[in-house]
Amino acid sequence: MKVREWEGDVVFLHEVGQGAADRSYGIQVAKLAGLPTPVLNRARQVLTILEQRSTGTSSSGSVAAVLDDLPLFAHRPAVEKPVVDPVYERLDTIQPDEMTPRDAIELVYELKKLRDVARRS
């Protein structure tokens, strides 16, 4: 396929030309296919490492060693801890059968305060 790059994107010219392409356009095709940005970013990182190693600008090694050194699926974004809602946290500690009517009313006010604090932060 004949292609051109324009402002970082690939434009397919819908014309098949003789011979091989001058480079790979896999990442651009993946972008056109709608792959998520983190996947595209990781692919660019891996491609950069492979290109550096193939041109000798990085530490050398066999192709197998390079591929073994690139754990494609090992990169994991940091897992965020779920935000604990203080209202639900407090509800987990309540023993309704042990409460007096007065305790229940005070609890409602306490839960409202917790909710207001959580909304502000």
Burial 93-107 (b: 16+ CB within 10 A, else e): eeeeeeeeeeeeeee
- pLDDT-based confidence at residue 57 (cuts at 50, 70, 90): low
CB proximity list for 61: less than 8 A, separation 6 or greater: 53, 69
pTM above 0.75, yes or no: no
pLDDT of residue 71: 61
Structure tokens at 75: 């990169």
Residues of the chain above pLDDT 90, percent: 21
Q: Which residues on neighbouring strands pair with residue 9, listed in sequence order?
A: 6
pLDDT at 100 over 70: yes
CA dihedral 94, 96, 99, 103 (to 10 degrees): 60
